[in-house]
Chain A
Amino acid sequence: MATTTSMSRDLAPTLVFVLGLTAASVAGAAEPSQNQAAPLTPKPATASVVAPSGPKPTSGSAAEGTPSTAVPPQGGEQRQVAPQSTAPTPDAAAPAVVPPEGTTNRAEGPVAQSGPPPGFPPAPYQGAAPAPLPTQLPAEAATESVPEPPKTYVHRFSLYVDYLGQWLTDTSYDLFSDGDVASRFGVTADADLLEPASGYELSVEAGWAREMAEGSVLFSRTDAGASVPSNLSTTLSVNHYHAGLRLRRVVAPWFMPHVRLWGGVSDIDVDLDAGQDGTYDSSAWRPFAALGAGASLCMLPRQKFALGVIAEGGFILQGSMRLEMNPSPQPEDIVTSGASLGKLKRSGPYARVGLFVRF
């Protein structure tokens, strides 16, 4: 086997993995299918080659009885270790390389798998039969003949498209809706900020949401059920601008519960249309703060663009808005003032569901 000493760090894991696969193939070992998530650990083979994985140094804690132990080179220097000719023992289930505890599957660019991610069981030993040692294969030939190994990607950013329903049980919201849920649709982007502890990720986010509600034919019925000629129509339109922090617990690449502290300001516009009586507009900016908790389910955690769903519940605390009938008379009109209907209360619990993509 030729020893490569000047291979780039990016290509090295691929090559090492390919070589490993090739060796196993030659040995007649059963290969897992591509879409199997479990066999992330390089199978122990008669010729085990381990390459450094960049920032994720592998440990050398091979299980006892491991026929071949790969010790990662220090300082990221690529090194190939010549395979031993010893055949593996049947009970050698431990991988040749075990990632350090708490290490996630994140790295700069595609890397060869260096161990099972958190939440994944170690890959079972595949029971490779004794086989002749592979002959030396050119790297180019192996690349053409062997399928691409599974890759994982570092996901630092997320984009969310979500729906948030806020429960507003105060009667003031009845002016704008028959129900008690204020619906808002929006988008949110977040970026991972740091890892405050092992298995935790802190991200920062910003987003925008739009809320609309309309109440029609208010004050339109008499006690006898008859309708009156005029009535009141209302429109509530709100633009929410928010930012926040999210602390995720990476239980598994596909399941990440979180807590979220967020807040922002709402640009609230209220229109009251009383027909012939006139129209009344009022607007206000109101800050809000919210605390929520939920979880993300990632459907394709190892793809470059990981899709998922998110669900969250919490409480939004927001200042009330005075509902004023502010007329908009013409300059020559008699000075007119309107009544105050009360305050529109905006605090209440919420539920949020959405789709996201991480990349």
Chain B
Amino acid sequence: MHKRLLGCAVVAIAAMGCGDRAQKFDSAPNIVAKVALGNDLVFIDDASNMAHAVNLTTNEPQPKARRIPLPASPSYASLRPGHPDELLVTCNGSLDQYGDIVEPPSLNVIANHSLERGYELSSRYESTVWSDDGQYALFWASAQDEFLSTPDQVTLVDLDQEQGSANPYDRQLSEVGGSLGQAFLIPPLSVSNRERSLALFVFPGGMSFWDLSRPERHEVTATSHANGAFSVARVVADPVESKLYLLVRNSTDLWVVSLTAPDDPAAQNDFRPSINQLGLGTQVPSDLLVFGTGSGQRLLTVGGASLAVVASDDNQVTTIALPTTADSLTSFEGTAPGDSTSRTRVLAYGVGMGAVSFVDLEDLEIRTTRNIESVNLGHPLSRVVPLGNNELLMVFSDAAIGVLSLESRRFRPLIASVGLGDSRPTPSEGRVWVAPPGTERVGYFDADSLESGEIRLDRPIDQMFLFGTGSSQRVVVTHPSLLGTLTYFDARTPTRDHSRTLEGFLAEGIVYR
């Protein structure tokens, strides 16, 4: 009798001891993206398939993290272009142990603190491109680990429309000398008397164009005669002339694509591309921009220490020597020393260079180098950040930072105690914030007076964000941590007394999940 009772007790206790720890307590948060969405700082967690949105403009003493469930395996997130209140999140979906799809890949839109809509994708893609107006998302380059992958399949999502039978739209492209290598979305152009958005696909043997307003039509193909693989570095559209300008990697030529009406009126598509390859006479061009003059559209390219101006009407090329080496061009409207007329002007600068060149576009092909003025910065340039009011923040790879006035062409540097090359200075209303990763100090200075200050935090800095405007503007700094840590303070009173640190928000309410 005693033995039976004891045996029953032992069995009961053993049975009660069964049970495993919930998986949510095992997996470490894996933040794949941090995005400022409205008043929320959103952390996309791949481990929990969750978006954690922390409202940082509230006056509550302790901001709470709001959880937004996501489809499986979120991998990428960014603001929708032209729609700063919508966050696009790409999810890879999930497979079971046999490799069968349990949850398909998807593109999802977070808005108003919830998952507003989603679009199921037919495949898991590795590359995405968004149109500048935010209407289209184009997915290409299927993942190679699928049982059968189609390298030339693309999927177009119209984000202005809900998911439907033709949205997303899958298209199997016709190869041009090989598999698809690149994809670009072209801003709306007026072609054959109709404005349309185009997708440009680059293949080793040429390119093809897809009319996004008529996705059911076949793409239009144009072959190239380039030696070797055909790879495009930059694409710029000229909406006035309905031309595309392409910079091809490792080529000193400029590729001009004219989109005109087809010769055959019975053709399925109502446009046809024609390619013209122009020799620029410069080093390999790295940047280009289109500008208008009284005598027509012009294209300006920069390659090394020279500029090239291309007349859009007759493809006439004018090469101009630069006093500095540059790889990027930035245009602005403003005055210049000795010229009080506001005109379109260009700043040419290069990463690692210690000097920049101002280029006046007025009669540039005639005046050539007389329209160019160089300014010595004294430090190797790392990054350029627009500040507004025709001022640029120049971030250097050494321990320096400065403000360059595009109109007065005056440069005022600030010397820092740490290297700022990895920092992403963030301008706010008249003030610039600098938070070098790995350090514990946030610096700030007034863009006009260069009056500076700093605030010491208690933890190393990971990333900095700015939220709100006016009196509710806040600076938010994230810290490396397991369960999420951030510090925020009022941008007008950056002191430790007015700062607050929030810890563990990635695990907020984890017991209830």
A239 cross-chain contacts in B, Cβ below 8 A:
none
Report the separation of the CA atoms of residues A277 and B459 in the bound assembly, to the nearest whole angstrom. Answer: 9
Q: Which of A185-236 contact B (CB under 8 A)?
A: 215, 218-223, 228, 230-232
Distance between B92 CB and nearest chain A CB, rounded to angstroms? 11
Q: Which of A304-355 contact B (CB under 8 A)?
A: 309, 311, 313, 323, 325, 327, 329, 333-344, 349, 351, 353
A337 touches B6 (CB 8 A): no
Q: Beyond the given A178-B19, A221-B27, A297-B1, please list 16 additional residue pairs across the A-B interface where CB-CB is below 8 A.
A: A165-B13, A165-B17, A174-B25, A180-B16, A180-B18, A181-B13, A223-B47, A228-B28, A274-B504, A311-B5, A325-B504, A333-B458, A334-B501, A341-B504, A342-B509, A353-B13
Report the separation of the CA atoms of residues A334 and B477 in the bound assembly, to the nearest whole angstrom. Answer: 13
A218 cross-chain contacts in B, Cβ below 8 A:
25-26
Report the count of interface residues on B (CB-CB < 8 A): 50
A274 touches B500 (CB 8 A): no
A278 CB within 8 Å of chain B: yes
Chain B 1-41 per-residue mask, 1 if CB under 8 angstroms from chain A, else 0: 11001101100110011111110111111100000000000
Given contacts A180-B19, A221-B28, A311-B9, contact A334 B507 (CB under 8 A): no
Report the separation of the CA atoms of residues A278 and B485 in the bound assembly, to the nearest whole angstrom. Answer: 11
B458 cross-chain contacts in A, Cβ below 8 A:
329, 333-334, 336
Report the separation of the CA atoms of residues A177 and B20 in the bound assembly, to the nearest whole angstrom. Answer: 9
Report the separation of the CA atoms of residues A133 and B146 in the bound assembly, to the nearest whole angstrom. Answer: 107
Distance between B174 CB and nearest chain A CB, rounded to angstroms? 37
Q: Which of A253-302 contact B (CB under 8 A)?
A: 274-278, 280, 295, 297
Report the separation of the CA atoms of residues A309 and B27 in the bound assembly, to the nearest whole angstrom. Answer: 43
B499 CB within 8 Å of chain A: yes
B278 cross-chain contacts in A, Cβ below 8 A:
none
Interface-centre pick from B18, B46, B483 (highest chain A CB count, 10 A): B483
B487 CB within 8 Å of chain A: yes
A25 cross-chain contacts in B, Cβ below 8 A:
none
Report the separation of the CA atoms of residues A230 and B479 in the bound assembly, to the nearest whole angstrom. Answer: 14
A179 CB within 8 Å of chain B: yes
A351 touches B12 (CB 8 A): yes
9 closest Cβ pairs, A-B complex:
A342-B511, A180-B19, A339-B504, A336-B501, A325-B504, A339-B508, A228-B28, A172-B511, A337-B62
Given contacts A169-B19, A223-B47, A232-B482, contact A340 B508 (CB under 8 A): yes
Report the separation of the CA atoms of residues A171 and B24 in the bound assembly, to the nearest whole angstrom. Answer: 10
Contact with A219, one of B9, B16, B482, B501 (Cβ below 8 angstroms):
B482
Interface-centre pick from B8, B61, B62, B487 (highest chain A CB count, 10 A): B62
Interface-centre pick from A167, A276, A277, A334 (highest chain B CB count, 10 A): A334
A51 cross-chain contacts in B, Cβ below 8 A:
none
B500 touches A178 (CB 8 A): no
A339 touches B511 (CB 8 A): no
16 A-B interface contacts by CB (under 8 A): A165-B16, A169-B19, A171-B22, A172-B511, A175-B511, A221-B27, A230-B481, A274-B481, A280-B504, A325-B483, A325-B507, A334-B500, A336-B502, A338-B503, A339-B484, A351-B16
Contact with B511, one of A295, A336, A343 (Cβ below 8 angstroms):
A343
Report the separation of the CA atoms of residues A231 and B1 in the bound assembly, to the nearest whole angstrom. Answer: 49
Given contacts A180-B19, A181-B13, contact A337 B28 (CB under 8 A): no
Report the separation of the CA atoms of residues A114 and B47 in the bound assembly, to the nearest whole angstrom. Answer: 76
Distance between B479 CB and nearest chain A CB, rounded to angstroms? 9
A177 touches B500 (CB 8 A): no
Given contacts A180-B16, A313-B12, contact A222 B28 (CB under 8 A): yes
Report the separation of the CA atoms of residues A295 and B504 in the bound assembly, to the nearest whole angstrom. Answer: 47
Report the separation of the CA atoms of residues A338 and B501 in the bound assembly, to the nearest whole angstrom. Answer: 8
B482 touches A179 (CB 8 A): no
B507 touches A341 (CB 8 A): yes
Across the interface, name the chain A residue whose C-beta is closest to B47: A223
Interface-centre pick from A179, A222, A337, A349 (highest chain B CB count, 10 A): A337
Contact with A167, one of B2, B16, B21, B457 (Cβ below 8 angstroms):
B16
A327 cross-chain contacts in B, Cβ below 8 A:
503
B98 CB within 8 Å of chain A: no
A278 cross-chain contacts in B, Cβ below 8 A:
503
Contact with A175, one of B13, B16, B19, B25 (Cβ below 8 angstroms):
B25
B444 CB within 8 Å of chain A: no
B511 touches A231 (CB 8 A): no
B20 cross-chain contacts in A, Cβ below 8 A:
178
Report the separation of the CA atoms of residues A171 and B17 in the bound assembly, to the nearest whole angstrom. Answer: 14
A180 cross-chain contacts in B, Cβ below 8 A:
16-19
Across the interface, name the chain A residue whose C-beta is closest to B512: A342
B8 cross-chain contacts in A, Cβ below 8 A:
311
B492 CB within 8 Å of chain A: no
A334 touches B457 (CB 8 A): yes
A342 touches B61 (CB 8 A): no
A342 cross-chain contacts in B, Cβ below 8 A:
509-512
A231 touches B28 (CB 8 A): yes
A230 touches B482 (CB 8 A): yes
B510 touches A334 (CB 8 A): no
Distance between B464 CB and nearest chain A CB, rounded to angstroms? 16
Given contacts A174-B22, A277-B481, contact A337 B502 (CB under 8 A): yes
Distance between A90 CB and nearest chain B CB, rounded to angstroms? 35
Distance between A148 CB and nearest chain B CB, rounded to angstroms? 28
A325 touches B503 (CB 8 A): yes
A167 cross-chain contacts in B, Cβ below 8 A:
16
B503 touches A219 (CB 8 A): no
B26 touches A339 (CB 8 A): no
A341 touches B509 (CB 8 A): yes
Report the separation of the CA atoms of residues A218 and B27 in the bound assembly, to the nearest whole angstrom. Answer: 7
Report the separation of the CA atoms of residues A335 and B12 in the bound assembly, to the nearest whole angstrom. Answer: 49
A338 cross-chain contacts in B, Cβ below 8 A:
502-504
Interface-centre pick from A169, A274, A295 (highest chain B CB count, 10 A): A274
A219 touches B511 (CB 8 A): no
B511 touches A171 (CB 8 A): yes
Report the separation of the CA atoms of residues A273 and B505 in the bound assembly, to the nearest whole angstrom. Answer: 15
Report the separation of the CA atoms of residues A329 and B24 in the bound assembly, to the nearest whole angstrom. Answer: 28
Report the separation of the CA atoms of residues A309 and B65 in the bound assembly, to the nearest whole angstrom. Answer: 52
B5 cross-chain contacts in A, Cβ below 8 A:
295, 297, 311
Report the separation of the CA atoms of residues A297 and B8 in the bound assembly, to the nearest whole angstrom. Answer: 14
Distance between A234 CB and nearest chain B CB, rounded to angstroms? 9
Across the interface, name the chain A residue whose C-beta is closest to B503: A338
